[in-house]
């Protein structure tokens, strides 16, 4: 006992916590999907089909007109 004859008071302990951190690597797998798309675009491609037609032209009467000009039956000229 101390010199005053009193009992000492014992208090509960107080804690001082000091936190330290250490890094730990955790693997995280992230899938990446590559999609190759083929887009179809319609583009016209022309093919030419030649057509030949035979036309008969009737010249008609080849008479003498005014001042030497002839009379004709020209349908396509």
| Predicted TM-score (pTM) above 0.85 | no
Q: Which one-letter DSSP state was computed for residue 70?
A: B
Identify the pLDDT of residue 72: 55
* Helix, strand, coil % in the chain, rounded to nearest 5: 5, 5, 95
Which of 8-17, 34-43, 49-58, 67-76 shows the lowest per-residue confidence on average (mean pLDDT)? 67-76
Mind listing the pLDDT tens digit for each residue in 10-40? 999 999 999 999 999 999 999 999 999 999 9
């Amino acid at each position: 006992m101390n010199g005053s004859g009193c009992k000492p008071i014992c208090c509960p302990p107080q804690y001082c916590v000091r936190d330290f951190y250490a890094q730990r690597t955790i693997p995280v797998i992230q899938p990446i999907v590559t999609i190759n798309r083929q887009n179809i675009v319609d583009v016209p491609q022309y093919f030419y089909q030649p057509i030949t037609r035979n036309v008969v032209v009737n010249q008609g009467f080849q008479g003498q007109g005014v001042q030497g000009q002839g009379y004709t039956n020209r349908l396509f000229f």
